[in-house]
Amino acid sequence: MFFKKLRADIDAAMQNDPAARSRFEVYLTYGGIRALIWHRRAYFFYTKLHCKTLARMMSSWAKFKTGIEIHPAAKIAPGVFIDHGEGVVIGETAEVEEGVVIYQGVTLGGTGKEKGKRHPTVKKNAVISCGAKVLGGFTVGEGARIGAGAVVLKEVPPYATVVGVPGRVVRINGEKAQSLLPEKEDPIQKELCALRERVFALEEEIKNLTDKK
């Protein structure tokens, strides 16, 4: 079973990275592959043998060696590709399905307010680009794409493209879409609009007074 999962992880790297020249090279040199190998061992100790301290030690060692931090309880399917991976953080209740691609600096985390399921579930074939932060116990739909640097705080529909801070949906199935993630109102812009309306009203009053004289 372990080698079957390892083969799927290496196949995912070969499929998604044009720089990958051979499976042997991927196995020896790719930090994402090494991190997943350590994670699968830690997950076994954490969930099957209930040796949680030892599992946490293994995940800490993997973080030291690869720069990728994966909680040993996180569920990661075979066939996930972590490209480069430096700074990747995957939380305890996160779930990542097969075919997902994760780039460096990605966080699959929580907001610090929830209990229970507090980290995201990433469905098949989703892509999480560099530096994206996906925070909360919601679902990122199958085939979704999260843009670089995006901060996603709400559920993402399947095959949607999300960009920005906070994240907003700009495309679904390749077609432009009205954002399903509401943008935060800008209080400064709101105040400027109110001041402009007030200026227009005062100018109108002054004109009326001048006409009377």
The predicted structure's pLDDT at residue 133:
94
Name the amino acid, one letter, at 62: A
If we measure between CA atoms, which residue out of 169, 172, 167 comes closest to residue 153?
167
- The single residue listed with the structure tokens 């399947």 is 158
What is the distance, to the nearest Å, from the Cα of residue 131 to the centroid of all Cα atoms in its chain?
8
Specify whether domain 2-176 bears CATH 2.160.10.10. yes
| Cα distances (angstroms) measured from residue 166 to each of 132, 152, 187, 204 | 11, 6, 15, 39
Stated pTM of the model:
0.77
Residue ranges of the chain with per-residue pLDDT less than 50: 179-181
Name the amino acid, one letter, at 128: I
Alpha carbon distance 99, 94 (integer Å)? 15
Alpha carbon distance 14, 30 (integer Å)? 11
Alpha carbon distance 66, 87 (integer Å)? 9
The predicted structure's pLDDT at residue 54:
95
DSSP helix/strand/coil, 139: strand
The predicted structure's pLDDT at residue 213:
63
CA R_g for the chain: 24
The predicted structure's pLDDT at residue 204:
80
The predicted structure's pLDDT at residue 111:
82
pLDDT digits (tens, 9 = 90+) for 127-167: 999 999 999 899 999 999 999 999 999 999 999 999 988 88
The predicted structure's pLDDT at residue 193:
75
The predicted structure's pLDDT at residue 181:
45
Contacts with 79 (C-beta within 8 Å, 6 or more apart), sequence order: 8, 9, 11, 12, 98, 99
The predicted structure's pLDDT at residue 80:
94
Sorted by where each begins, the domain ranges of the chain are 2-176, 183-213
The predicted structure's pLDDT at residue 183:
52
